[in-house]
Structure 1
């Protein structure tokens, strides 16, 4: 037989016994994950041209002087007085009409009608070309059934500062479409199968 505990306990054991009777002990286990200690690394940013002792970044290569895609041709018309404009435009349309008449003599079926600054060139297999003077703008306007409408300005070859008088390809100026640098005479020769000289203002013309 087990001997019974004495009813009277020492004062030091009374709190422990009272605790065990009233509540069950709760055991909580905390496990700590073993996280390796890794040093933090950062990639240094390379800066150029920011600090006084740093070098400027290299310029993009290749470089070009072509601003915003502009074509390398004359983009401004040459200065004309009102009387010069009428003289040059009238002379050009007269020379064109003579060229068409020569083509007719060679068997072409083109027809030309010129009146009040408007030249109509009728090509039966293609359509009608209209060239007319525009005094307010000092231009010659062209309506082509092949290449569409264009406005031509008077441009003196060699007007640019970097060109010299001796480097001019022609004696005087040309009627130029400033948007793409094309020449009115070249276009008419190609589309109408003509052989009109570019420099229609020379003494030999």
Structure 2
């Protein structure tokens, strides 16, 4: 229930940003001030665990060579120990999802590169 109320708090705050004339600055201020570090970890962990469950269910339904989902604590030089979700899709690449606590975000690295074509 606490996670649900945190999500509502975030969605209300994000909705108010739509009318902001300087949304980039407002988003940065929101991400650092809206949630305490403890609230952020609660919400981020819940979100990543929900994603993990959905990806595991998806993995049971598809036939992709090399499909694997891994979640665990990994060492990073920048942040020390951090929880990381790794999704391997064989020839389609590997995606890594982890928390970025200083800016209260969840990041995803992707093997897909987008080019701005003309």
Common fold: TM-score over 0.5:
yes
| 1:42-191 map, 5 Å | 74-75=23-24, 76-77=27-28, 78=30, 79-109=34-64, 110-116=67-73, 117-147=83-113
TM-score by length of 2: 0.57
Which is richer in helix? Answer: 2
Which is richer in strand? Answer: 2
TM-score by length of 1: 0.34
**Pairwise CA RMSD of aligned residues?**
2.2
Please list every run of at least 4 consecutive aligned residues from structure 1 whose deviation after the TM superposition is greater than 3 angstroms. none
* Conservation of the 8 A alpha-carbon contact between 1:100 and 1:111: no
Of structures 1 and 2, the one with the larger relative CO (CA 8 A, separation 6+) is: 2
- Please report how far the alpha carbon of residue 91 of structure 1 lies from its aligned counterpart in structure 2 after TM superposition: 0.8
Distance of 2:47 and 2:95 partners within structure 1: 15
**Local SS of the residue matching 2:85:** strand
Distance of 2:22 and 2:87 partners within structure 1: 29
Distance of 1:85 and 1:144 partners within structure 2: 23
- Please report how far the alpha carbon of residue 73 of structure 1 lies from its aligned counterpart in structure 2 after TM superposition: 9.1
- Number of residue pairs aligned between Structure 1 and Structure 2: 77
Segments of 5+ residues of structure 2 without an aligned counterpart are: 1-20, 74-82
